[in-house]
Structure 1
Amino acid sequence: MAVITRRDFAKLAGAGAATLTLGGLLSGCANNSESEAVPTATDSGDVPNEVIVSMTPGSEPAAGFDPMVSWGCGEHVHEPLIQSTLIRTTAELAFENDLATSYECSDDGLTWTFTIRDDARFTDGEPLTARDVAFTINGIRSAAASECDLSMVREATAPDDATVVIAMEKPFNALLYTLAVVGIVPEHAYGEGYGSNPIGSGRYMLDQWDKGQQVILRANPDYYGEAPKMKRLVAVFMEEDASLAAAQSGQVDVAYTSATFAAQQPAGYDLLNCASVDSRGISLPVVPAGASKTDEKGDAVAGNDVTCDVAVRRAINYGVDRERMIDNVLNGFGTVAYSVGDGMPWSSPDMACVTDKELANKLLDEGGWTPGADGIREKDGVRASMDLYYSAGDTVRQGIAEEFSNQMKELGLEFAVKGVSWDDLYPHQFSDPVVWGWGTNSPIETYNLFYSKGSGNYACYENASTDAYLDEALGMPRVEDSFELWKKAQWDGSTGFAPQGDAPWVWFANIDHLYFAKENLRVAEQKPHPHGHGWSLVNNVDQWSWA
């Protein structure tokens, strides 16, 4: 199996797939001879018990429905539906049991013990036991292709059928957030091809997968929990304009859309606006040019002679008008963001900074950056001019880059906007500002971006105090007790990565996730959506209903 790294997954998600035509959608949904006949709104006067949802082409899992690779627990996290998880998170992001009936962590944070329910069965009739849980966790831990990071786990063992013990390499209580999206696979039936023919114990079963077009899930009749109200979920993969056309013709029940098309609301549909932690921001390398950094692809150039000056980074954070950004780029469909986790229990109010261009100019002046003849600032022979990269084809990131560049000119900072492919973007990830999309219902995102050895530390940020706070936070036996430490990592009154501190990033907005949903469809209460416009919407599709 080929190794799929985090950056490869992002490329696949951004690249998209073949657009599904409306004719293909109709024929695909009708051609389901192996499935039970489920009446729909278009072929029966009865209240339907299926829902058809359009998703982005990148929502189709490249490796299939395999939690050992990326299904549920990869770049865009969501509940795996086909498989059960040990625990789940509620709409309020509290933990609740799924396969687990109880769990506890040792005082030193190095041992987690889960008790497993005894009434869960896989769809082939075999019982799910603690051995399957241990097999899944150990498999992810050792799989080179896995998008799920369980490197902090030493080993999972099953002393009996009802008990799983997870031994940790180091304390890492954010493990719970990961386990909430890790689907458990059967040890006896896992192998090559599992992603295309998954056996699980979750709320739904894979009924049909027409690659590049659609996926059909049907309710698992032997599910141990409350029977799903929706007996069938059809996910169709299409580009944004095709999604709009499918809603306009009434051929989907829920169609994803964006601020660009939100005003074109089709008759018979409501605009469903889901709050998100899908953040957009720009990394600002904190070290001078000439440095190097090693990631999973090898050595890369790092550093930037303009953004390495903390005065510039702070000025950018205070000088950008986020409300103007949201109005001009998102047509108002977003909320101001100052961090990658605004509104989460671990987010700090100290990350907030109101627009203050007078302060921004003062910071630049006092930092020795003086305007040149053309208005662009200079310092010690270094011109405050740099490239700003974004992934081509993403209109929102393009809009953010252009709006940001225009605003920064008012401060005497020049950003040349570069829309390039992912392959051409990544060589610049540690050396130039880049427009990124991040966000998940877990503090792991903060760790990845701001821990000195974090997998997303594109700013090359290193702060011993921040590292210490993050390590201490992850070492707390109770997740709830760690939130104040996460906040101190951001700003403890004297240091941190807040805008008044080291400011290695500038954040703009959490993008609203928008959908056209049929008026008589009752969509259950949503969790804040993470980064990615797809499967997170249907986390609780089993609770949806038709009026």
Structure 2
Amino acid sequence: MGTMTRRQFAKMAGAGAAALSVGGLLAGCASGGESAPAADKGDGAQTTPTTPNQVIVSMTPGSEPAAGFDPFVSWGCGEHVHEPLIQSTLITTDTDLNFVNDLATSYEASDDGMTWTFTIRNDVKFTDGQPLTARDVAFTLNGIRTGEASECDLSMVKEAVALDDTTVEIHMEKPFNALLYTLAVIGIVPEHAYDENYGDKPIGSGRYKLEQWDKGQQAILVANPDYYGDAPQMERVVVVFMEEDASLAAAQSGQVDVAYTAATFAANQPAGYDLLNCASVDSRGISLPCVPAGGTKVEQGDMAYEVGNDVTCDRAVRQAINYGVDRQKMIDNVMNGYGTVAFSVGDGMPWSSPDMQCTTDVDKAKKLLDDAGWTPGADGVREKDGVRASLNLYYSAGDSVRQAIAAEFANQMKDLGIEVSIKGASWDDLYPHQFTDPIVWGWGTNAPVETYNLFYSKGTGNYASYENPTVDAYLDEALAQPLVEDSFDFWKKAQWDGQAGIAPQGDAPWVWFANVDHLYFAKENLKVAKQKPHPHGHGWSLVNNVDQWSWA
């Protein structure tokens, strides 16, 4: 979930950006594999026949896995975490985010947190008929750990070792109990059948098999008849990849059963569809570089980036921004109310701290700037020591909500005397500014590791170049607890311990605005199973439990 991940995601998103003909995509998507003609509704619109065992879902172009359905790269455990469906996982999480066994029958950590032992089922077979053993588990974890292309961070793992067919040990480089959250989305691949072409023709042991993948267009999954768990109620899942406007058009013409949409399109609800609103921990916020301009940072061995910002390096500016922004107004104006106020990257989670919350107080924000020596100039923009309180704010040009967030933020900052120029850019053009300028980011998973990535001094998502030894120590202590539930207080202290932390009254390296509701147009007679909170990414997390969906 770090820098490389998002860069790879940018390339992935750009590869399928063109809007595609829905009719062309759905060829061959009828139940049983035969191409079925669309039904005429009598008003010129076409609709795909609804069958009791198939669902057609639209997702963003960025949801298509660029390297295919390969956990060694990004499938399931990459940028947008989700259950891998095609492969089994050691454990998973339920709708309340409790850990539940999948392949595992039991697991435990050593007292020092340096060894995890998993016992797995002995009745699982891959779709080629070969048994799944602990050796496949070890092969998968070691392959991800050493793979240069992997978007999944297993750097905390030293080695996975199969002790016998049903027992695997994971030896750690350091205690890291959040590993459990990662293991819940890592699909296990077969050692005997893994090669460079695996992503195109994956062999797994999960609920579904990949039947067809038309790159840049659609993927079709079918139920695995040899699955060891409950047989999927939804036997066939067709996923079409398209832009926001094409997704809306597909719903309006009845050609998809579930169509993702955004708050900016939510009012255009098609007849025959409900608006499915899924709560999320998909947070929108802005990074605020904490160091002065002039530095450099080397990423991935040889990629050098400029670092620092002479305005946001002042803690008073960062605090003022946090207190001066009206989050609810932003949600009302930008998202049409489809979101909740956010103060952190994990609001509402067991590890989130109430100390991250702050009430909008423009007078307090102005006083913070006044006391820090930022005085209004003739045009109302503040200055200090010859530095003008002027910022460039970047956002992904293809995201209508982020664009609107950027514009609303710029408008609100005028009241504080901070000038904000918004700049839409492709991800490739945006990344050179990741350590120098504020950027509208999207983050959020059902795991505290996001907090680690963003705020640990060596975190892979530390775009603010934030360093605080006290915060680092709390984060290390959180991860060292043998029981995950014992770690939550340390996560909270990293946010604010009464004197130090990342909270708005502290170092404030980010400002958070909203948790974005994940919105979908879903056909009225489709029963979508209860969802767990959606992480960042408007895609595969929706179908985590598609095997439990049904038609009324």
The interval holding the TM-score normalised by the smaller chain is over 0.9
Deviation at 1:28?
4.2
Q: CA deviation at 1:10?
A: 2.6
SS of the counterpart of 1:353? Answer: coil
Residue 120 of structure 1 corresponds to 124
- For residues 34 and 112 of structure 2, what CA distance do their matches in structure 1 show? 51
More displaced 10-residue stretch of structure 1: 118-127 or 6-15: 6-15
Give the Cα separation in 2 of the matches to 1:389 and 1:210. Answer: 33
The normalised TM-score by structure 1 is 0.96
Q: Secondary structure at the match of 1:104?
A: strand
Q: Quote how far apart the aligned CAs of 1:37 are.
A: 9.0
Equivalent residue for 1:58, pick from 62, 86, 103: 62
**Aligned sequence identity (%):** 77
1:477-521: CA deviations, max 9, x gaps?
A: 111110010000000010000000000000000111000001111
1:410-449 counterparts in 2 under 5 A? 410-449=415-454
User: Does 2:310 align with 1:305?
Assistant: yes
Does the alignment pair 1:9 with 2:8? yes
**Alignment partners' CA distance in 2, 1:89 and 1:39:** 39
Deviation readout 1:275-334 (Å, 9 max, x if unpaired): 011111111111111122222252211111111111110000000000111111111111
Q: Which moved more, 1:375-384 or 1:11-20?
A: 11-20
Asked if the contact 2:264/2:400 (under 8 Å) is kept, the reply is: no
Residues 29 and 35 in structure 2, CA contact (< 8 A), matched pair in contact too: no
- Tell me the distance in 1 between the aligned counterparts of 2:164 and 2:67: 32
What's the counterpart of residue 520 of structure 1?
A: 525
Distance 1:233 1:158 in 2: 34
CA distance in 1, matches of 2:416, 2:12: 35
Worse-superposed segment, 205-214 or 287-296? 287-296
Q: 1:256 aligns with which of 241, 257, 260?
A: 260
**In 2, Cα distance between the equivalents of 1:120 and 1:85?**
12
Match of 2:245? Answer: 241
Q: Which residue of 2 aligns with 1:22?
A: 22
CA RMSD of aligned residues (A): 1.7
Candidates 209, 217, 227, aligned match of 2:221: 217
Q: Give the Cα–Cα distance (whole angstroms) in 1 for the partners of residues 493 and 425 of structure 2.
A: 37
How many pairs were matched up?
Answer: 541
Give CA deviations for 1:397-449 in whole Å, capped at 9, x if unaligned. 11111111110011001111111222221111111111111111111111000
| Superposition deviation, residue 27 in structure 1 | 2.1
For the Cα contact (< 8 Å) 2:88–2:205, is it kept in 1? yes
Deviation track 1:222-272 (CA, whole Å, cap 9, x = no partner) reads 000001000000001111111111111111110111111111111111000
- Of 72, 80, 88 in structure 2, the residue corresponding to residue 84 of structure 1 is 88
Residue 280 (structure 1) aligned to one of 268, 281, 284:
284
The aligned amino acid for 2:25 is: L
In structure 1, what is the Cα distance between the partners aligned to 2:88 and 2:35? 26
> Does residue 358 in structure 1 map to residue 363 in structure 2?
yes
TM-score (norm 2): 0.95
Describe the shift of the 1:260–1:349 C-alpha distance in structure 2 as closer, same or farther (beyond 3 A). same
Write the letter of the residue equivalent to 2:247.
S
Cα deviation, residue 7, structure 1: 3.1
CA deviation after TM superposition for structure 1 residue 390, in Å: 1.3
Alpha-carbon distance between aligned partners in 1 of 2:423 and 2:245, rounded to the nearest angstrom: 25
CA distance in 2, matches of 1:376, 1:44: 59
Opposite residue 124 of structure 1, the aligned amino acid is D
2:182 counterpart of 1:178: yes
**Relative to 1, partners in 2 of residues 1:155 and 1:101: Cα closer, same or farther, differing over 3 Å?**
same
Q: Which residue of 2 aligns with 1:329?
A: 334
Alignment pair present for 1:400 and 2:399: no
User: Aligned letter for 2:314?
Assistant: D
Matched with 2:484 is 479
Write the distance in 1 (CA, Å) between the matches of 2:340 and 2:23.
37
Partners of 1:231 and 1:38 in 2: how far apart?
17
Conservation of the 8 A alpha-carbon contact between 1:375 and 1:412? yes
Change (3 A) 1:191 1:76: same
Matches of 2:385 and 2:427, distance apart in 1: 34
- The amino acid across from 2:11 in the alignment is L
- Give, in whole Å, the separation in 2 of the partners of 1:14 and 1:502: 33
**Once the 2 structures are TM-superposed, how far is the Cα of residue 146 of structure 1 from its aligned partner?**
0.5
- Shift in alpha-carbon separation, 1:383–1:274, aligned structure 2, 3 A: same
Inter-CA distance 44–500: structure 2 relative to 1 (3 Å threshold): closer
C-alpha separation between the residues in 1 aligned to 2:17 and 2:289? 33
Equivalent AA in structure 1 for residue 6 of structure 2: R
Match of 1:129 among 120, 126, 133: 133
* Counterpart check, 1:163 vs 2:167: yes
Residue 501 (structure 1) aligned with residue 506 (structure 2): yes
Higher deviation after alignment, 228-237 or 10-19: 10-19
Q: Is the CA contact 1:273–1:512 (under 8 Å) kept in the aligned structure 2?
A: yes
* AA of the residue aligned to 1:527: K
Displacement of 1:5: 3.0
Distance 1:521-1:21 versus aligned 2 partners, 3 A rule: same
- What is the alpha-carbon distance in structure 1 between the residues aligned to residue 68 and residue 429 of structure 2? 27
The 3-state SS of whatever aligns with 1:27 is coil
Kindly report structure 1 stretches of 4+ aligned residues shifted beyond 3 Å.
Answer: 35-45
Distance 1:197 1:253 in 2: 26
Distance 1:170 1:515 in 2: 41
Partner SS, residue 292 of structure 1: strand
Q: Aligned runs of 1:285-300 on 2, under 5 Å?
A: 285-296=289-300, 298-300=303-305
Q: CA separation in 1, counterparts of 2:392 and 2:368?
A: 22
**Residue number among 337, 340, 344 corresponding to 2:349 in the alignment:** 344
Q: Is the 8 A contact 1:40 1:50 kept in 2?
A: no
Distance 2:215 2:62 in 1: 12
* Contiguous gaps of at least 5 residues in structure 1: none
Q: CA deviation at 1:13?
A: 4.5
Pairing 1:27-106 to 2, within 5 Å after superposition: 27-30=27-30, 35=33, 48-106=52-110
Aligned-partner Cα distance in 1 for 2:104–2:92: 10
Q: Equivalents in 2 of 1:539, 1:39: separation in Å?
A: 29
Supply the distance in 1 between the matched residues of 2:426 and 2:318 (Cα, whole angstroms): 26
1:226 aligns with 2:230: yes
